[in-house]
């Protein structure tokens, strides 16, 4: 699935994405994750280099997205939370240089993770109209 990259105003856009981020985005899109956002927090946080946030509309979808990522991404995670918890609506996977948040649509606006780093560079990723299934 091909992605279209767009930028929101108010933040500096990422100039380019590295191969690991591109691989993760492709795996997220395979399982229909939406509202994918990549934050470059290298200059504003010592926790990680990139934070990737993706939405899902159900617990089952979030688990499917996470399972696909864990099975298909060549790097093994340092840890994960929420994956084995029944009814989990927020899954976090830590790869060291990037932390991935898979969060239910209902919780995303409430917790506003992307608002924690207003100075971060931002890349929003969406599936292209040609590849979206209706």
Q: What pLDDT is stored for residue 33 in this prediction?
A: 92
Q: Which of 5-9, 48-52, 83-87 has the weakest average pLDDT?
A: 5-9
Q: What pLDDT is stored for residue 74 in this prediction?
A: 87
| Residue 117: φ, ψ to 5° | -125, 75
Domain locations in the chain?
A: 3-127
Q: What pLDDT is stored for residue 32 in this prediction?
A: 93
> Selecting from 3.40.50.2000, 3.30.460.10, 3.40.50.1220, 3.30.70.260, what CATH number does the domain 3-127 have?
3.30.460.10
Closest CA to 113 of 122, 10, 88: 122
Average pLDDT, rounded, for the chain: 82
Q: What pLDDT is stored for residue 127 in this prediction?
A: 59
| Residue 86: φ, ψ to 5° | -60, 135
pLDDT of residue 7 exceeding 50: no
The predicted model scores a pTM of 0.82
């Amino acid at each position: 699935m091909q992605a279209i990259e767009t930028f929101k105003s108010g933040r500096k856009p990422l100039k380019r994405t590295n191969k690991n981020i591109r691989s993760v985005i492709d795996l997220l899109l395979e399982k229909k994750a939406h509202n994918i956002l990549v934050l470059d927090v290298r200059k504003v946080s010592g926790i990680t280099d990139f934070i990737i946030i993706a939405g899902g509309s159900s617990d089952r979808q979030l688990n499917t997205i996470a399972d696909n990522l864990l099975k298909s991404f060549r790097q093994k995670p340092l840890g994960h939370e929420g994956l084995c918890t029944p009814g989990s609506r927020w899954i976090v996977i830590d790869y060291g240089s990037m932390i991935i948040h898979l969060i239910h649509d209902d919780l995303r606006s409430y917790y506003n993770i992307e608002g924690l780093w207003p100075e971060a560079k931002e890349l929003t990723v969406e599936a292209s109209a040609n590849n979206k299934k209706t």
